[in-house]
Structure 1
Amino acid sequence: MVKLVLMHKADSIYDDVPDQVYDFPRTYLKTMEEAVGDWVIYYEPVKAGPRGYFAVAKVFKVIEKPGAEGRYLALIEPRSFLPFDQEVPRLMSGRPLELALTEPDGTPKKGGVVQRAVRRLSEVDFARIIDIGLPQNLEQLEAAKYDTATSFDEGAEPFQRPVLERLTRRPYRDVAFRRKVRQAYGYRCALSGLELRNGGGRPEVQAAHIRPVENDGSDSVRNGLALSGTLHWMFDRGLISIAEDCETILISKNKVPKDVIDRLLPADGKILKPDDPRDLPHPENLKWHRKNIYGQVLRDESEPWV
């Protein structure tokens, strides 16, 4: 097995869906097959945008792309994709983060391996990029962000959480997902449009998975919605969803009182969209929710508006 960097750009001719599949030509077949069962890091090339390294995932299978001779698909292991808490720059102090892209004097190489869409990544470089993009103390940072009463021993050594534990441990992933989704929506509820904060400034909006993790939903921002507590409850229980146009709010009106709809949802019946179009809910995730959750009304407690 081997770890890789995969180049990805939103307007590519290849049918990449980073949390599901990576589309590539025969040129990289041998290298991609070596990566099956191991982790890869996504990288945005300079001409495509400013993000640099922006997410990590695990490859579980490589197949021929149906109907496309000479093209292949690397299938991403369900529940493995995780966006970085902060994008990792291509250079730090003028030096690449990948040894393979670095000249002996520390300056960046040009051409050749730099332009490869798929390139091998050493364990050391992989760990370095993960440590920057997904900090070891992310849970601590989130806990202390809005709680001025929280204090930590400045002399204490930070807990060294191994790389693979961060990538697989559910509580850590939940924090990373929550931070990215709430940030994408500007800490506002995607359905009501409201920004609610408590007295200490802590956002009350929650991060909801459109397709739940237990149903192979990913931790991509495109599988998330920032929702208030009540609307999160309604969304998870099939009382509301989002239509095929990816913006119209669907409501089980025979199950939700009109006065509740009038209080909680905007008059135009449209969702609040993220500023970055790359963070928009993926149509396939919304389709899954409409098919499997909406209208099912999975009640396990009394309605919060009663």
Structure 2
Amino acid sequence: MASWSEAVEAAVRRHVAAAGSPFTRQALIDAELDAIVADVGSAGATPHQTLSRELQHLRDMGLLEFFAPGVYRWAGSLDEPMRAGTSKGVFVVGSHSIYQDEPERFYRFGPQWLPNASRIAGNWIIYQEPRRAGPRGYYAVAKVERIVPDPATEGMYLAVIEPGSYLELGRDVAFQFDGKAVERGLLNPDGRLNNGRAVQSIRTISDEDFNRIVGLGLIEDEDLLPRVDDPMPARVQEEHIPWEGPVDRATMLVSRTVRDRQFRKRVLDVYDCRCALTGMKLINGGGRAEAQAAHIKSVAAGGPDRVTNGIALSGTVHWMFDRGLISLSDEGAILLSRKINDIEGVSKLIYPNGRARLPGGVSRPDARYLEWHRRECFHA
């Protein structure tokens, strides 16, 4: 929940952006008091007096000027971020969005959300996608590097995502868990959902709620890790750390081991543990899949940990893919390098028609990453 100081400053900025300055105290109350109360989670005993106190506080900070009795003039710049904050946040996305966001690179939003976004800059966010037909819910995390004006659309802003921070969680987390909103900050004191806050496209979130959601979304099952005889054990071994009390989940999100585990789970689920180029689906006696999750654009080159940058490949094909001996066209045609010394043998390994079996819809490999692999890795 926001403090009264944060909520009132955000409300004044919204009101000035929408109605202009000067503005009257009553107009601010009519337009924003309900939203302020929703943001702080309580009206308190004297909300009008509390509002007046916070307006005076903004005057003391030099952000407001007293223009006339009951009338104020905004003295700051709406393009300036709010006072630096360290809140984590939630960004709401959806297939219906008109903003054409690229979640691993940026999130586009309007000026009404600038105060909230400014409080989140420099910290972690969770992406949430509401669905009427059934929850996708909370599905990915990322770190906001900075907030900038959108160079393509006047009056809009971009939350620029820190490169390499985007990560799709191993499993989606539903909006409700055990019959209760998993994001407790959306509940009123009486336990009922605060609809005004729940529909905010950008909102702050407590560390407790962030840790709860990320904890539910992270996969920790060892059966999804590579075999113990993997030739690169340094990637999959991690030292056991003794319990030292509650830990901020954000500290885990930079671990390559944790990130690889989530990425592998997402990719193998989409491809049903089957190599996209050979069709092989080998499962050992313990239920562990032979297929591996390959990054199309490498992590070292800034490739994100998202399913559209992944493809399920058997070990041999993965080795060839990483070394540029095999690649894919945007349409899924399998491309073989002239440097392969056993073209006949490789041709027998892949699908006879020379086309990969790729998922459709939002899980299909992104053409941008495929183009990068052909340009930077593939030996034509």
Residue 10 (structure 2) aligns with: none
What are the equivalent positions in structure 2 for 1:35-50 lying under 5 Å apart? 35-47=120-132, 50=135
Change (3 A) 1:183 1:74: same
**2:211·2:248 contact (CA, 8 Å) conserved in 1?**
no
- CA distance in 2 between counterparts of 1:76 and 1:139 reads 28
Identity of aligned residues (%): 40
- CA distance in 2 between counterparts of 1:254 and 1:125 reads 52
- CA distance in 1 between counterparts of 2:203 and 2:252 reads 23
**1:10·1:48 contact (CA, 8 Å) conserved in 2?**
no
Residue 106 (structure 1) aligns with: 191
Residue 355 (structure 2) aligns with: 270
Residue 204 (structure 2) aligns with: 120
- The CA RMSD measured in Å over matched residues stands at 2.6
Q: Which amino acid aligns with 2:183?
A: E
- CA distance in 1 between counterparts of 2:245 and 2:284 reads 30
Note if 1:166 corresponds to 2:166: no
Unaligned runs of 5+ in 2: 1-85, 229-241
Residue 180 (structure 1) aligns with: 266
Which structure carries more relative contact order (alpha carbon 8 Å, separation 6+)? 1
- CA distance in 2 between counterparts of 1:88 and 1:140 reads 20
Q: Which amino acid aligns with 2:168?
A: P
Q: CA deviation at 1:53?
A: 0.7
Q: Which amino acid aligns with 1:216?
A: G
Residue 7 (structure 1) aligns with: 92
What are the equivalent positions in structure 2 for 1:38-117 lying under 5 Å apart? 38-47=123-132, 50-110=135-195, 112-117=196-201
Change (3 A) 1:174 1:130: same
Residue 207 (structure 1) aligns with: 293
Q: Deviations over 1:223-265 (max 9, x none)?
A: 11110011101111111111133x2222214535331232221
Residue 53 (structure 2) aligns with: none
- CA distance in 2 between counterparts of 1:178 and 1:159 reads 28
- CA distance in 1 between counterparts of 2:317 and 2:224 reads 23
**2:117·2:203 contact (CA, 8 Å) conserved in 1?**
no
TM-score w.r.t. length of structure 1: 0.84
* Larger CA Rg, structure 1 vs 2: 2
Q: Which amino acid aligns with 2:376?
A: N
Residue 284 (structure 2) aligns with: 198
Q: CA deviation at 1:284?
A: 1.1
Change (3 A) 1:89 1:231: same
- CA distance in 2 between counterparts of 1:48 and 1:13 reads 20
What count of residue pairs does the alignment treat as equivalent? 282
- CA distance in 2 between counterparts of 1:143 and 1:289 reads 25
Note if 1:286 corresponds to 2:373: no
Residue 275 (structure 2) aligns with: 189
Q: CA deviation at 1:90?
A: 0.5
Change (3 A) 1:270 1:141: closer
Unaligned runs of 5+ in 1: 147-155, 297-306
Q: CA deviation at 1:158?
A: 11
1:22 to 107, 111, 121: 107
Residue 299 (structure 1) aligns with: none
- CA distance in 2 between counterparts of 1:249 and 1:15 reads 29
Q: CA deviation at 1:134?
A: 1.4
Q: Which amino acid aligns with 2:348?
A: R
**1:139·1:172 contact (CA, 8 Å) conserved in 2?**
no
Change (3 A) 1:172 1:57: same
Q: Helix, strand or coil for the counterpart of 1:59?
A: strand
Change (3 A) 1:187 1:141: closer
**1:55·1:81 contact (CA, 8 Å) conserved in 2?**
yes
Q: Which amino acid aligns with 1:132?
A: L
